[in-house]
Amino acid sequence: MFSAPFDFKCSACGREPTAAGWSLCALCGGFFCSDHLVVKKGVATCESCAVERERLEASSGVSTGDEDLVVELIRADVEATIGPGHDESIVEAAARHRLHAGDPVRYVNRVVDDVPAVFP
């Protein structure tokens, strides 16, 4: 059984963790149950941060087209070298890094550097 030296409860409702449906918010870092998470492109944000996420995505120096292109190119490379079945990890890495990206070149480098870390 997992044991933590602190109160391990949902930041929104105070429920203790169950077997599934728990994650950290990518923006505020709070711990939330599935009832208080919004998962988009594999990246979890709490309900309170959903509007901030939309603002960050809309104002990012990285466009949706940039994100789509990075995903497409990395997917092709991974499929050619490792094989298919890794789309979710690639999409998640690209979406997560876009939340904190300002420069498209630096964004691409961060996603490319991060993707190998998600494979065994």
pLDDT tens-digit profile of 33-62?
A: 988 999 999 999 999 999 999 999 999 899
Determine what percent of the chain is predicted with pLDDT higher than 90: 61
Q: Determine how many CB atoms are found less than 10 A away from the CB of residue 70.
A: 24
Query: What was the pLDDT predicted at 119?
Result: 61
Q: What is the mean pLDDT of residues 25-29?
A: 94
DSSP state of 25: -
* pTM, full prediction: 0.83
The CA–CA distances, whole Å, from 120 to 46, 59, 74, 86, 99 equal 28, 34, 17, 11, 25
